[in-house]
């Protein structure tokens, strides 16, 4: 009977997963990765082997309405594929670890209770992350689980980088800049010596551009600063979130326009950003294909914000040696990469059009003062590494991406 470990990355409408398997007498190896998407609307399961070959792609019953249903569907596929095997650990992505959880943590009832207290700080993600933990606990009683936090990689930043300029008594309640997308940035930092050794330990700005978007300044492959702060609302314009916003706007929503707290939360997390500007879509792919001026304005603002924040992080680093694009938009949109790089020409960025169109990995010219790269991220592998190390499954950390 083989052992296997699971990695789960649960969202509101999708469940990403990886399966690591340990045949008798052998080390851990990646066996499969996949996702269930369209949860609550048109659910579909797709799974690939380590070489990217399709293992299965199937529509699921419309009764898959939430994360628990999705986990049941995954469990059914696992029984079919790995019947007789034993699950020995489960690793989870958890967006917010607050001020207490500075690294991966074995989940206990007390840990779970404390993580639920952070739900108001990450309402788009935390409830689904924690629901997956509870569902896995019900279906796999006694199997250890590990929470891996998107905030952990940013711990260790300077006091000024973490500071929110409010009275001390409020800061002592946990009001600080946390930063997010840490599992993605940690993965990029881990592979830079192999992919881009010339800049690996230099001043690097990583652009994690997707429906959620942020930038992170790295020096010696450690986080120096990032554009996301206390919550995942700060910094760049995102699919449905506004990014940096004058606090007076929020005051006006409450005081002048008489919004309720729930209405403000819904506006900021679900109705702003690209969808708010365009009124058309929160998906960059859709907006790039539209001619309406509102769609063009949304794209222009996204590029404008990214370029502006790159300039700010360049100042924090005292210069910049490399820029790395990653995540859905960063990895797959040559147009957005090109436009951001053109806006950064003043830094000495010069893009190679052919390399950019083909996806890199290096997309800058030889004469560019700053090298520019496209590096696919792999948050699930980082979760596997942490889970393996914490549960004594260390060989899982060495598996291929």
Residues marked active site are found at 150
Which tokens go with 33? 């990765």
């994360």: which residue's tokens? 67
Say whether 9 sits in a helix, a strand or coil: strand
Which tokens go with 31? 């066996």
Sign of torsion over alpha carbons 224, 106, 390, 388:
negative
Burial class (CB in 10 A: 0-12, 13-18, 19+), 198: exposed
């008489």: which residue's tokens? 258
Residue in 329, 327, 248 with CA at minimum distance from that of residue 286: 329
């529509």: which residue's tokens? 59
Radius of gyration of the chain (CA): 21
β-bridge pairing 14-22 and 29-37: antiparallel
Is the CB of residue 360 less than 8 Å from the CB of residue 113? no
Measured from the Cβ of residue 256, the count of other Cβ atoms closer than 10 Å reads 9
361 preceded by a cis bond (ω within 30 of 0) = yes
273 preceded by a cis bond (ω within 30 of 0) = no
The upper half-sphere exposure of residue 127, i.e. CA atoms within 13 Å in the direction of its Cβ, equals 7
């Amino acid at each position: 009977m083989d052992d296997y470990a699971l990695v789960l990355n649960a969202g509101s409408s999708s469940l990403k997963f990886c399966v690591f398997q340990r045949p008798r007498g052998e080390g851990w190896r990646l066996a499969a990765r996949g996702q269930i998407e369209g949860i609550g609307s048109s659910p579909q399961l797709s799974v690939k082997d380590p070489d990217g070959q399709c293992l299965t792609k199937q529509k699921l019953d419309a009764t898959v309405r939430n994360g628990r249903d999705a986990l049941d569907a995954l469990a059914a596929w696992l029984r079919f594929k790995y019947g007789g095997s034993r699950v020995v650990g489960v690793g989870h992505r958890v967006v917010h670890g607050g001020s207490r959880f500075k690294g991966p943590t074995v989940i206990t009832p007390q840990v779970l209770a404390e993580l639920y207290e952070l739900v108001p700080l990450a309402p788009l993600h935390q409830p689904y992350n924690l629901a997956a933990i509870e569902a896995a606990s019900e279906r796999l009683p006694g199997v250890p689980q590990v929470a891996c936090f998107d905030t952990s990689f940013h711990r260790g930043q300077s006091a000024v980088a973490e500071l929110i300029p409010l009275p001390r008594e409020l800061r002592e309640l946990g009001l600080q800049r946390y930063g997010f997308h840490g599992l993605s940035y940690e993965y990029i930092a881990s592979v830079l010596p192999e992919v881009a050794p010339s800049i690996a330990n230099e001043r690097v700005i990583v652009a994690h551009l997707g429906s959620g978007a942020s930038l992170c300044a790295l020096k010696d492959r450690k986080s120096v600063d990032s554009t996301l702060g206390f919550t995942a609302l700060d910094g760049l314009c995102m699919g449905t979130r506004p990014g940096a916003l004058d606090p007076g706007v929020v005051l006006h929503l409450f005081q002048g326009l008489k919004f309720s707290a729930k209405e403000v939360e819904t506006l900021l997390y679900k109705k702003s950003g690209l969808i708010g500007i365009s009124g058309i879509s929160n998906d960059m792919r859709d907006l790039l294909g539209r001619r309406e001026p509102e769609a063009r304005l949304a794209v222009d603002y996204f590029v404008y914000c990214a370029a502006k924040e790159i300039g700010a992080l360049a100042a924090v680093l005292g210069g910049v040696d490399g820029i790395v694009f990653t995540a859905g938009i960063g990895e797959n949109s040559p147009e957005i990469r090109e436009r951001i790089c053109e806006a950064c020409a003043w830094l000495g960025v010069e893009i190679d059009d052919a390399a950019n169109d083909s996806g890199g990995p290096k997309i800058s010219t030889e004469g560019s003062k700053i090298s520019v790269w496209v590096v696919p991220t792999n948050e699930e592998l980082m979760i596997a590494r942490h889970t393996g190390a914490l549960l004594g499954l260390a060989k899982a950390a060495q598996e291929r991406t």
